Amino acid sequence: MLTTQDLSETKRRCLEQVIGYLERNRKHMRYEICLAKGYPIGSGVIDGAIRNLINDRLELTGMNRTIQGAESMMHLRAVHMNKDWDPF
């Protein structure tokens, strides 16, 4: 796209930054190795954890929390879900 599209200067700079990032981090993006080892490579696992850990508890009807209260609730929810009560 960088060489074949007529991009605005802003879009060109943005695309150059993305290309630079990908080139600098190519060695970390070994998806075939991760897949072979059974590691998750998509955001689905993270999205599911967020939904399960955070949204299911904090987005209940009538819930009002401060940032500090929500953070405390997330810590306790993680302890509960990981069955770490004894160490906690």
Whether residues 34 and 60 share a domain: the answer is no
What digits encode the pLDDT tens for the residues 25-81?
Answer: 998 888 889 889 988 777 787 788 778 777 777 777 777 778 888 888 888 888 988
Residue with tokens 């160490």: 87
Whether residues 61 and 46 share a domain: the answer is yes
Residue with tokens 């943005």: 14
Name the token pair of 53.
């850990």
Band the pLDDT of 13: cuts 50, 70, 90. Answer: very high
pLDDT (mean) for 1-26:
91
Whether residues 35 and 48 share a domain: the answer is no
Rounded CA-CA distance 21/26 in Å is 8
* Structural domain boundaries enclosing 18: 1-41
Whether residues 46 and 88 share a domain: the answer is yes
Name the token pair of 50.
């967020």
Number of domains in the chain: 2
